[in-house]
Amino acid sequence: MKLICGLGNPGREYERHRHNVGFMVVDALLARARAELTQDKFQARVGQGSLGGERILFVEPQTYMNLSGRSVAEAARFYKVAVQDVLVVHDELDLPFGRLQLKAGGGAGGHNGLKSMVQCLGEDAFIRVRVGIGKPEGPNAKERVAGYVLSNFDDGERRQLEELIGKAADMAESWVRDGLATAMNRHNRKA
């Protein structure tokens, strides 16, 4: 079994925010797996399905971004999923909008959801699908980051969002089916 988690914040008011792109990708994967998030456990919405012949536990933490690791660590322990079999889909300020990257391990880079994941899982060896959302530019850009990630995609981005979510879901599905090295070679080059 593998665990695929999307990072985001619960509630309708956050639904379409840049910070919730992880949830959006998991929702696309659920459709492919003909699965639903049918349970509320581990402080998350949880469902099971299969992709590429592999059983998948889908997790959308409901703890808010900064505590996401609690849900994922609890679910991984309960189902005995190794950290290397956990894939986390998250927004990434350090990639321009539209860029995607599949990678294993690495630091949190200031992303509070990833900090929580590393802290609660006890290591950083989980797999990541980094979905580029860009970042604010100009004076006081650092001070504007929180407002930026908690805002909706602009009109131009929204027109490309469905395709971007589909490509991120392709990366995750390729990781399940083909393994990390093959999936990285196939998808990181295209990105």
Enumerate the active-site residues.
Answer: 19
User: Which positions make up the binding site for tRNA?
Assistant: 14, 64, 66, 112
Please report how the helices 155-178 and 21-33 are oriented relative to each other, as an axis angle in degrees rounded to 10: 50
What is the C-alpha separation between 144 and 122, in angstroms, rounded? Answer: 31
DSSP one-letter string for 86-131: EEEEEEETTS-TT-EEEEE----TT-HHHHHHHHHHSSS-SEEEEE
State the amino acid at position 29 in one-letter form.
Answer: L
User: Which positions make up the binding site?
Assistant: 14, 64, 66, 112
Per-residue tokens: 53: 């012949």
Burial class (CB in 10 A: 0-12, 13-18, 19+), 163: exposed
Contact 86, 118 (CB under 8 A): no
The strand pairing partners of 92, in sequence order, are 132
Residues sharing a CB contact under 8 Å with residue 154, sequence separation 6 or more, in sequence order: none
Per-residue tokens: 41: 């456990």
